[in-house]
Chain A
Amino acid sequence: MEFIDYYKILELDKNATQEDIKKAYRRLARKHHPDLNPNDKEAHKKFQEINEANEVLSDPEKRKKYDQYGKDWQHAEHFEKAGRGTHAGNEAGNYGGFGGGRHSAEDEFGGQFSDFFESLFGHSGARSQAKFRGQDYHAELRLQLQEAYKTHQQVFTVNGKNIRITVPAGVENGQVIKLKGHGGTGINGGPAGDLYITFIIADHPVFRRSGNDLYATLKLPLYTAILGGEVAVDTFSGKIKLKVPPETQNGTKVRLKSKGFPVYKQEGQFGDLYIVWSIEIPTNLTPRQKELFTELSRL
């Protein structure tokens, strides 16, 4: 655990007045406030640091203790024990501070304090009487493309708790869903935070997805391409037979209506599947085959 320089965090010098501290806190909070920096973990962390620094420096009692013992935080416990007799029964008054009992941003986002803070002021040093909302959690859920094709249930563990969710068919890579109340537990009876899940969908070896459409480049034997025929194609909804017209050119694109990806939360609606034929030229020709191709070329 390292010493935390609260003055440095608030970009102040040690002679800063209460007005300076208030101004510095407001200025930095406006820059790093989570409401103004959604989904920015760095800003969230910085905001917690700013809150903690403000919590200490804006409270004359805590500031005095920090100035005296901050760097020797390992010995702060002695101070704590000595001081407890004097200040017992007065804590609620001392720690009301900025934000009062209102459900403030500090409650919402800055409820956690560093180990350094805890060692210097103890857990009760935080304004524990206020109700505050639990922390929001962010998690990633990795799916195969095929898994995202069907509505299914997934169980995953967040902070030791198993959470079962229904993943709707058609979910997109990078899409975020919010599960209300599945974040950190609220403190002092406050509401639980929310859980944000980002879906990460892996590439598929055959199918590529663009919105609700699927694309696949499939090999077509030369003879089928020239003479026509039928080819069985595996899709996410099962095997289908495709008629290939004679003289099909390399790169020909075939559209299979409604055989693509399901449209998110639009039951029964699907995108299209596009198949691009890549004609396979036979290799290792036998002398007879070579002879026939030569003959064909002379016709």
Chain B
Amino acid sequence: MIPADAFCSSRHVDISFIQLLQENGLIELITIDEKIYILPDQLLELEKFSRLHYDLDINLAGIEAINHLLNRVQDMQQSITELRNRLRFYESA
């Protein structure tokens, strides 16, 4: 697990920002002895949300909407791949 304060100081991210992400269900944080930790599998998502917020000036509502749409895009891409494979199956018959 990664201490949240270490992440925040190395990436110049406010701790309040990652707490807001957690409150809105975008990431999961763990608190042990009042110290906040980031789960390693959340790191890539957290970095992405930080870039969206700090580099592109997108607020939390925007991040939520983008995250939702990106997940849908990913699901659709998965469906496209599956459908392509099925089409290939019938075309090769």
Contacts and interface: CB of A to CB of B under 8 A. Distances in A.
Interface of A: 26, 29-30, 33, 35-36, 38-39, 99-106, 108, 172-175, 203, 208-210, 215, 217
Given A208-B89, A209-B89, A210-B89, A105 B84 contact: no
Given A173-B88, A210-B86, A102 B54 contact: yes
B12 A100 contact: yes
A29 B54 CA distance: 12
Interface string B29-58: 000000000000000000110111011111
Contacts of A106: 55
A183 to B, nearest CB: 13
Nearest to B13: A102
Contacts of A100: 12
Interface in B42-93: 47-48, 50-52, 54-58, 66, 70, 73-74, 77, 81, 84-86, 88-89, 92-93
17 contacts: A36-B66, A38-B70, A39-B77, A102-B12, A102-B54, A103-B10, A103-B11, A105-B51, A106-B55, A173-B88, A174-B84, A175-B81, A203-B92, A208-B89, A208-B92, A208-B93, A210-B86
B40 to A, nearest CB: 11
A30 B52 CA distance: 8
B66 to A, nearest CB: 7
